């Protein structure tokens, strides 16, 4: 493990001079960059650096490499695994990409846009829409998440089923590598076999191999017609059968397929104003799906659902009759995380499973968890279409999360052990950050871990980039 050093006063003076008053935040001004929304463990940093150009970012990294000063990259700060906060170790710096916030180009002829790392995801979506195109990546935090973090963590979200993860949506990157050199590779090509896939390696490396400063993102045609359906099903297994049934009918035009539990809907209805459930009473299990395509795609969904009802795959449901109603369906889905926060989870898990294992996992997980804490409330929900569940555990009515604090580790261990046993992933879309670094070692393939460490040591020999994240 290379040794890091705290920045000296002279080092900080040099950065102040380089970056000017807008480029450096200290003391109370730095505090917002050192907290996350869950407020678990605040980060520490001598200062927050806010480069205004990629060249300034490169000079920061070069100086930190020379002085062996650690750097924690910071984008929108919405990460859920502590990747953007470094609470321990020798004090280093935070580098925020928020001033690199230009949409450099939106090119509908090439179906791409070039955006800087500080652009907010929702603004990138809006820029695409203004050019008559779709940038399909959509996550709950899109109003604050920034492109640098979206790529750093290889964000997933609602539309992975159809359009893929952040890595799949990015054709090229500009990045500062750990020696301060600038990788200028904003390719806008679907096909480019000139050497190793550094783009793919940087995306999802959570800032441990470099700092993405800009990206060339793929754009798609906006579907002429979109329709959503909210459908009650008897079980997660039935939801999967419904998924296969609908996909056989509409293929890749199925863009989202979300599982909702009655528990989760209940949390949203109780704690988030303006939510309502399209089906009464609230089903124990339901699915929210959406299709988009040419004219007639809504009809195709309706037809598929009609045969699904006949086959007993669905028991009740509603098709959106307007864009407003479609938005209302989604509002319910998107209120579940907020409802969860209000209730306060005992433990939350971002897992993915092979589709063929989801039902069995659920059957096995519930009794194993209840053997530890019999009165737990379970709220598994999420992107069932791509096997990704947010498998979250809540206190019984009238109890608080603190009363389960002792059991938390054992509960998470049950979920992760079972996930691993079924060939799943203990981090589907949130990444490893600092919270899951130990789990990566526990469940990761040893050859993969060794190769990761070798790559990290080769590209970042002084270990300055996001120290402690991913590889611990």
**Alpha carbon distance 285, 239 (integer Å):** 8
Q: Residue 269 CB, nearest distance to its own copies (Å)?
A: 28
Candidates 3, 109, 280, 310; binder of its own copies (CB under 8 A) is 109
Q: Residue 391 CB, nearest distance to its own copies (Å)?
A: 14
| Cis peptide bond prior to 281, omega within 30° of 0 | yes
Helices 297-310 and 236-250, packing angle to 10 deg: 140
Q: Total residues at the site for its own copies (CB under 8 A)?
A: 90
Q: Residue 430 CB, nearest distance to its own copies (Å)?
A: 7
Q: Residue 411 CB, nearest distance to its own copies (Å)?
A: 20
Q: Residue 20 CB, nearest distance to its own copies (Å)?
A: 26
Helices 54-67 and 9-19, packing angle to 10 deg: 170
**CB nearer to its own copies: pick between 95 and 470:** 470
Q: Residue 278 CB, nearest distance to its own copies (Å)?
A: 26
Q: Identify whether the C-beta of residue 43 lies closer than 8 Å to the C-beta of residue 92.
A: no
Question: Which uninterrupted H or E stretch holds 392?
Answer: strand 388-394
Alpha-carbon distances of 288 from 19, 38, 166, 170, rounded to whole Å: 48, 27, 22, 27
**CB nearer to its own copies: pick between 102 and 190:** 190
Q: Find all residues with CB under 8 Å of 270, minimum gap 6, and list them.
A: 339
Cα within 13 Å of Cα(398), Cβ side? 1
84 binds its own copies (CB under 8 A): no
**Alpha carbon distance 388, 159 (integer Å):** 12
Residue by residue, DSSP assigns 380-421 as: EEB-GGGTEEEEEEEPPTT--GGGGGGGHHHHHHHHHHHHHH
**CB nearer to its own copies: pick between 334 and 429:** 429
**CB nearer to its own copies: pick between 53 and 406:** 53
Stretch that binds its own copies, among 6-14, 183-191, 314-322, 328-336 (CB under 8 A): 183-191
**CB nearer to its own copies: pick between 414 and 470:** 470
- By CB under 8 A, the residues from 395 to 424 that bind its own copies are 423-424
Q: Residue 95 CB, nearest distance to its own copies (Å)?
A: 18
**CB nearer to its own copies: pick between 34 and 351:** 351
Residue matched to tokens 């002429």: 224
**What mask, x for binding its own copies by CB under 8 A, covers residues 190 to 219?**
xxxxxxxxx-xx-xxx---x----------
* DSSP letter assigned to residue 351: E
- Phi/psi for 347 (5° steps) reads -160, 145
Q: Residue 470 CB, nearest distance to its own copies (Å)?
A: 6
Candidates 8, 307, 356, 400; binder of its own copies (CB under 8 A) is 356
Q: Residue 321 CB, nearest distance to its own copies (Å)?
A: 22
Candidates 101, 107, 125, 234; binder of its own copies (CB under 8 A) is 107
Angle at 104 between CA 193 and CA 99, to 5 degrees: 110
Task: Dig out the tokens for 324 from the structure.
Answer: 């407003």
Q: Residue 398 CB, nearest distance to its own copies (Å)?
A: 35
**Alpha carbon distance 190, 215 (integer Å):** 14
Angle at 135 between CA 132 and CA 140, to 5 degrees: 130
- Quick check: helix, strand or coil at residue 195? coil
- By CB under 8 A, the residues from 285 to 304 that bind its own copies are 293-294, 296, 300
181 binds its own copies (CB under 8 A): yes
Alpha-carbon distances of 125 from 77, 82, 133, 399, rounded to whole Å: 19, 26, 9, 41
**CB nearer to its own copies: pick between 77 and 152:** 152
15 binds its own copies (CB under 8 A): no
- By CB under 8 A, the residues from 213 to 272 that bind its own copies are 220-221, 223, 240, 244, 247-253
- By CB under 8 A, the residues from 428 to 457 that bind its own copies are 428-432, 440, 443-452, 454-455, 457
Alpha-carbon distances of 425 from 23, 374, 429, 432, 435, rounded to whole Å: 39, 26, 9, 11, 15
Alpha-carbon distances of 471 from 239, 418, 422, rounded to whole Å: 36, 23, 24
**CB nearer to its own copies: pick between 226 and 275:** 226
Q: Residue 193 CB, nearest distance to its own copies (Å)?
A: 5
């Amino acid at each position: 493990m290379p040794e890091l050093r705290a920045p000296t006063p002279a080092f900080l003076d040099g950065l102040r001079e380089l970056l000017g008053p807008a480029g450096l935040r200290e003391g109370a001004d730095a505090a917002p960059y050192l907290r996350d929304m869950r407020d678990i463990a605040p980060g520490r940093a001598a200062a927050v650096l806010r480069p205004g150009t990629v060249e300034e970012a490169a000079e920061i990294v070069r100086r930190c490499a020379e002085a062996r000063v650690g750097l924690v990259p910071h984008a929108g700060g919405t990460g859920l695994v502590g990747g953007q906060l470094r609470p321990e170790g020798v004090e280093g710096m935070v580098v925020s990409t928020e001033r690199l916030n230009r949409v450099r180009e939106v090119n509908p002829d090439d179906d791409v846009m070039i955006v800087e790392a500080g652009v907010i995801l929702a603004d990138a979506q809006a820029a695409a829409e203004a050019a008559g195109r779709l940038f399909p990546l959509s996550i709950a935090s899109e109003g604050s998440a920034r492109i640098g973090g979206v790529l750093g963590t290889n964000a997933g979200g609602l539309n992975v089923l159809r359009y893929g993860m952040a890595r799949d949506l990015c054709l090229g990157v500009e990045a500062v590598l750990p020696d301060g050199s600038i990788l200028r590779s904003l390719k806008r090509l679907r096909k480019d076999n000139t050497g190793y896939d550094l783009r793919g390696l940087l995306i999802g490396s959570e800032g441990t191999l470099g700092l993405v400063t800009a990206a060339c993102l793929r754009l798609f045609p906006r579907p002429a017609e979109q329709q959503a359906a909210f459908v009650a099903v008897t079980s997660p297994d039935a939801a999967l059968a419904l998924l296969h049934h609908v996909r056989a009918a509409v293929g890749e035009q199925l863009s989202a397929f979300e599982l909702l539990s009655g528990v989760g809907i209940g949390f949203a209805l109780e704690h988030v104003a303006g939510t309502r459930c399209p089906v009464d009473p609230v089903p124990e299990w339901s699915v929210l799906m959406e299709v988009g395509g040419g004219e007639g795609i809504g009809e195709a969904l309706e037809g598929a659902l009609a045969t699904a009802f006949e086959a007993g795959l669905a028991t009740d449901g509603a098709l959106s009759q307007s864009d407003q109603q479609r938005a209302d369906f989604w509002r319910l889905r998107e209120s579940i995380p907020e409802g969860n926060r209000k209730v306060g989870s005992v433990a939350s898990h971002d897992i993915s499973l092979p589709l063929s294992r989801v039902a069995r996992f659920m059957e096995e997980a519930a009794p194993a968890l209840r053997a530890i804490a019999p009165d737990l409330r379970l709220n598994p929900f999420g992107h069932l279409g791509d096997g990704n569940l947010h498998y979250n555990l809540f206190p019984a009515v009238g109890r608080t999360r603190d009363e389960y604090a002792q059991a938390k580790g054992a509960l998470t261990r049950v979920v992760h052990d079972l996930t691993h046993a079924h060939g799943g992933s203990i981090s589907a879309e949130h990444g490893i950050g600092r919270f899951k670094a130990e789990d990566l070692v526990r469940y990761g393939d040893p050859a993969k871990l060794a190769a990761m460490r070798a790559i990290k040591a080769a590209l970042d020999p002084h270990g300055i980039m996001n120290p402690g994240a991913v590889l611990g």
